[in-house]
Amino acid sequence: MDVRATDIPDVKLITPKRFGDHRGWFSETWNRDKLAASGVRIDWIQDNHSYSAQRGVVRGLHFQVPPFAQDKLVRCARGRILDVAVDIRRGSPSYGRHVAVELTAAGGEQLLAPRGFAHAFCTLEADCEVLYKVSGKYSPEHDRGVIWNDPELAIDWPVSEEEAVLSEKDAQLPRLAELPTYFEWSG
């Protein structure tokens, strides 16, 4: 597995190796020992799978607050997405900054969005399936978010506000500046 730090070092881009022949390919998408050797030591407890029928579906920016905060390991199993992680750890040198990468089924890339980051993705084509591991159970009482198009975040989304397909919940999320301090950077 190739594990690389992004512009925000706590966010990692992980690309598993693929072994192909005339039948197709095989890939080990997660291996605890190999990732631990690269510094990724997370106890995953659940796998999630989402399907988006249309291009321009935006899901997020989501996170859960302690004690139910979650790390996420995201990959696109069908199609292409723009995957985004925003640092929401007060005091962090990268607070309010984000990492945005294209994840594709063809490439098999994965993005690690650790606790203290809001996560979202936008589908770049129709019929996208996204799989992600989480390190904590879902708790509706601890579910929070930031509005996807907060101008302070300056995320270059591949869709306009008029084109974006959002849930009612995601369309009502607050801006980053309106959030209380849920996470503090510890250095």
Selecting among 62, 98, 119, 182, the annotated active-site residue is: 62
Q: Which run of H or E residues covers position 113?
A: strand 110-113
Assess contact for 134 and 141: CB atoms under 8 A.
Answer: no
Selecting among 98, 119, 132, 182, the annotated active-site residue is: 132
132 is catalytic: yes
Integer Cα distance of 135 and 10 in angstroms? 16
Integer Cα distance of 79 and 70 in angstroms? 25
Torsion angle in degrees (nearest 10) through CA of 74, 16, 21, 79: 20
Nearest to 6 by CA among 121, 71, 83: 83
Question: Which tokens belong to 48?
Answer: 């999630």
Question: Which tokens belong to 19?
Answer: 């072994």
Q: Pinpoint the alpha helices (H) of 9-144.
A: 32-37
Task: State the catalytic residues.
Answer: 62, 132
